[in-house]
Amino acid sequence: MNEEVRSVILELLDEAYDAFKDDDSKTLKDISDYTLHYAGIFQDADSTSIAVLVYSLAKVLERRKMHKYAQWETFRRDALQYLKSARTALDNLDVEKYNATIKYIFHGLGKLEDKFGQYVTEVIRQAKIKKGSGVYEHGISVSRAAEILGISPWELSEFIGQRKQVDKVSLATLSVKERIKMARGLFR
């Protein structure tokens, strides 16, 4: 693992731990977005996997009705413990243990599905696609971004295409005649 990536991941693990402990999904999403910058530069699996994991944690946090079940508390406690363990392993340069610990957190997310159906799998899949789009926006090809995140280039291309369509629609302006007509309608 690249030393710069390692130091960034160490820092964000601390921040992610605090944000998850405080039920702060917005901060988790911000951390995930920040990590994409490094994924775009180094094109490494470590940056992308932690970005997907942190984003997935944010999305699961937002699903408040999950929080009333005992299984949620078990997951929450375990996830916090594993975030600490991952940080310790990475701090001790034990990348193998770090990777195993990150997999445990993903595994814990998967166990939530026993109670909540396919929602968690869909969250992780959508997180990979969304983060892949962010990697693509950093100048990485669609096929390389998809490869890094373990998704198909077709899924990523479809998502990027949909976003571009939304951007085009939101950028479309009314003609002068339509704006005058609308203004007149407002002042009648």
Mean pLDDT score of the chain: 80
- Main-chain phi, psi angles of 154, to 5 degrees: -65, -45
What's the confidence (pLDDT) of residue 1? 81
Residues 147-183: b if buried by 16+ CB within 10 A, e if exposed: bbbebeeebbbebbeeeeeeeeeeeeeeeeeeeeeee
DSSP per position, 138-187: TT--HHHHHHHHT--HHHHHHHHHHHHHHHHHHH----HHHHHHHHHHHT
> Is pLDDT of 170 > 70?
no
> Is pLDDT of 89 > 90?
yes
Per-residue confidence band for 174, with pLDDT thresholds at 50, 70 and 90: low
Nearest to 35 by CA among 6, 61, 60: 6
